[in-house]
A and B are shown apart, each in its own frame.
Chain A
C-alpha cells in the first residue's frame, strides 16, 4: 500500500492510495496517512480508485482518521472505490458515518454542500 499523492484541490486535501488496505497496508501507511489528513485540519477526500482490497484494518484506519479530522471540525469523504471494495463498505454500513461518492467531483461537491 502506498500513498501515491497528497495534494491540495482548492481548499481540500486529496490523498490518493494504491494497493491493498489490509492489516499490512494499514501498518505501512497509517502514520503518514493520518498525518497528511488530520494535521491539515481541512476537509479531505481519499481517492480509492487504486485500492484493490479493503479489510477490517483498512476500515479502522479510515474511520479513525475521519474521527480525528472531525475533532478539528472538518470532514473526510471517500471516492472511486472499485465495486468489490464498495461492497465491503456497504457490508460495514460505512456510508452511514463517512460520505462515499463515486467520483472525485461528486466527493468534492458533497463536502462543499
Chain B
C-alpha cells in the first residue's frame, strides 16, 4: 500500500532537480495517473525548484528546499518549504502576452505556467521560512 506522503530535502543545486523529479514520479507511479497530470506535476517541480535555487539563497550556499508530496482523492498536493529570502508569488506580476516577437521578453514565464496547471496555489511566510502549497487536479 503506498505511503501517505513523500518527503524529500532537495539540495540547492540544479543537478538535484532531476533526482527530485525521478523520486516524485516513482512515488506517484502506483496511482497510474494520466500523462497530463504527470507533466503538470513535473512542470510545477521544475519551475518552483529552479526558481527557488536561482533566487532564494546566496550564491553557492549549501541550503535545501523541503518538498512534500501527497495524493488526495482528486489532486496531487506539493508543498515546498525553504529558509531563503521571502518570495511571495503573488508579488510577481503576470507577464504580458506580446503579439510581436520583438516585444517578447524571453524569460519570466515560470510562475505563469504553474498558475495555468495548478488549481490552487497558496503562499505563507512563517518562522523565517517560505511555505508554498500547490494543488494539481487529478480528475
Contact = CB atoms under 8 A, between A and B. Distances in A.
Interface in A64-113: 64, 66-67, 70, 84, 87-88, 91-93, 96-98
Nearest to A66: B101
Contact of A63 (B14, B35, B101): B101
B19 to A, nearest CB: 11
Nearest to A52: B39
Interface residues of B, number: 29
Interface stretch (B61-69, B81-89, B107-115, B121-129): B107-115
Nearest to B109: A56
A30 to B, nearest CB: 11
A84 B39 contact: yes
Contacts of A59: 106, 109
Nearest to B116: A91
Contacts of B107: 56-57, 60
Contacts of A23: 14, 17, 46, 50
Contacts of A60: 106-107, 109
B101 A92 contact: no
B70 interface: no
A22 interface: yes
17 contacts: A23-B14, A23-B50, A24-B15, A24-B18, A53-B43, A55-B110, A61-B106, A64-B106, A66-B101, A67-B102, A67-B104, A84-B36, A87-B36, A88-B43, A91-B113, A92-B112, A96-B99
